[in-house]
């Protein structure tokens, strides 16, 4: 059982949007970064995901989801109508993958990026490293517990 963090711009897709989906599930498509893709392929059913809001007034972890379907080819890469279309993608040798996640909970008290930076217990966390731009990354179990405590869960 591993822990992950996934970023989403709330203007595009927020944790409330996830909670409002049928079955509270959604495909996590559109990832077009190899490192992020590789992490998604490591994800196992039941793994925990910290849902992070980025590029917004108050970036931070806003809740928790879980992996309900392991990596499978991202169909948007093959769809010319999609914003995520990749003309170099080959249906016989998929390059991009997605997973399905399901809403678990929204934190009553979101854990802001500023709060995480200010917590010495989270020194070294991948998210906080300089220049980090990955939209999908692993989180250590200890880090997850610390964040959970900060959310007063």
Q: Provide the β-strand partners of residue 27.
A: 100
Contact with DNA (CB under 7 A): which of 114, 126, 142, 149? 114
* All residues at 6 or more sequence positions from 84 whose CB lies less than 8 Å from its CB, including other chains: 29, 30, 32, 74, 76, 77, 96
Angle made by CA atoms 124, 125, 130, in degrees to the nearest 5: 75
Contact with DNA (CB under 7 A): which of 12, 20, 56, 149? 56
The yes or no reply on residue 149 touching DNA (CB under 7 A) is: no
The yes or no reply on residue 7 touching DNA (CB under 7 A) is: yes
The yes or no reply on residue 41 touching DNA (CB under 7 A) is: no
Alpha-carbon gap, residue 49 to 116, rounded angstroms: 17
Contact with DNA (CB under 7 A): which of 92, 124, 133, 152? 133
Q: Which residues would be at the binding site for DNA (CB under 7 A)?
A: 7, 9, 33-35, 54-56, 59, 88, 113-114, 117, 130-135
């Amino acid at each position: 059982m591993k822990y992950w963090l996934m970023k989403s711009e709330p203007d595009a897709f927020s944790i409330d949007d996830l909670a409002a989906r049928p079955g509270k599930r959604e495909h996590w498509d559109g990832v077009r970064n190899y490192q992020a893709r590789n992490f998604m392929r490591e994800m196992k059913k039941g793994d925990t995901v910290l849902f992070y809001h980025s590029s917004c007034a108050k970036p931070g972890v806003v809740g928790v989801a879980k992996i309900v379907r392991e990596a499978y080819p991202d169909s948007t890469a093959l769809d010319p109508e999609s914003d995520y279309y990749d003309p170099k993608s080959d249906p016989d040798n998929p390059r991009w993958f997605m997973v399905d996640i399901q809403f678990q909970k929204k934190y009553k008290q979101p854990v802001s990026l500023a709060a995480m930076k200010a917590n010495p217990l989270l020194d070294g966390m991948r998210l906080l490293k300089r220049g980090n731009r990955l939209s999908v990354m692993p989180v250590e179990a200890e880090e997850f517990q610390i964040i959970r405590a900060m959310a007063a869960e």
